[in-house]
Amino acid sequence: MNCSNLAYGILMALAFLAGGALYSLSIKNSNKPLPKVLDILLITSISGIIGARITYILLFPQYFNGLRDYFAIHEGGLVFYGGFIGCLASLVIFCKFKQLNFSYLADNLVPSLALGHGIGRIGCFISGCCYGSQTDFIKIFKLHHESFYRHPTQLYEAIALFTLCAIFYMLLKSNRVVHKKSDGNLALMYTAVYSVMRFAIEYLRNDSRGGFYTSMYLSPSQVIAAICIFAVILLFACKKLTENR
């Protein structure tokens, strides 16, 4: 195992631990029952990694030649949206089984999600994946076999995610924001904001995007981001109609 792969694995573990610590801080003085930190860490780490890995395998089947390749997670090869969907599905099932309010849980997990994701992107930077197109303006990142610099899109996203973590943590603790009117609003807001940011940053990405490209040259992540944005708008509209009845 080389140093970059080791650092990637360490940062992935740190991402989950930091996210768990922030979740513990976020739910202090909560007025509704929520899962324990250990439950959240176990559910999100297992389902998130499985979902992210399966999605990567589906998008890049050409990279897998043997059983060992499928389990070499320490070498990279995780897709955020796959992990997000895996976590979402497992948490919905968990909350249903434990009779907990999933929407309220989702609001309280938003800052932790942003923090853990941001740390994970630093791991991508060190590992050398998820890189951007060639640039002459920002001379920070280049691949070891290339003489030119590339946009450090991993760091762009990490900075954006850390900023979102701070903003949404303050919103979570505020008593004068829209999410207080209905559980789940904060999580929907975050999903929309992240999806818009991810859609935009994809135009700077230049690594293999896998899977397919549409007739509009949208990557798989942009297609998923667009679906998320549409879904959020639809859910907010349904919430508004329900409130006005």
150 falls within a domain: yes
Tokens 């631990």, located at residue: 17
Any domain includes 146: yes
Q: Please check the confidence at residue 57 and state whether its pLDDT lies above 60.
A: yes
- Does residue 177 form part of some domain? no
pLDDT at res. 1? 44
Question: 219 pLDDT exceeds 60?
Answer: yes
Instruction: Report which secondary-structure segment, H or E, holds 47.
Output: helix 37-59
Tell whether 196 is covered by a domain.
no
Give dist(CA 188, CA 12) in Å, integer: 25
Which one, of 25, 24, 45, lies nearest residue 35 by Cα?
24
H helix count then E strand count, the chain: 8, 0
Q: Are 202 and 221 in contact (CB under 8 A)?
A: yes
Assigned domain for 163 exists: yes
The tokens describing 203, both together, are 């135009």
Asked if residue 77 is part of any domain, the answer here is yes
- Is the CB of residue 107 less than 8 Å from the CB of residue 185? yes
Beta carbons of 32 and 101 less than 8 angstroms apart = yes
In a domain, 232, yes or no: no
Of all residues in the chain, what percent are helix, strand and coil, respectively (each to 5)?
70, 0, 25
* % residues pLDDT > 70 (the chain): 90
What's the number of domains the chain is made of?
Answer: 1
- pLDDT of res. 9: 82
Q: Decide if 34 contacts 91 (C-beta within 8 A).
A: no
Residue 201, in any domain of the structure? no
Q: 233: pLDDT confidence band, cut at 50, 70 and 90? A: very high
* Structural domain span for residue 50: 3-172
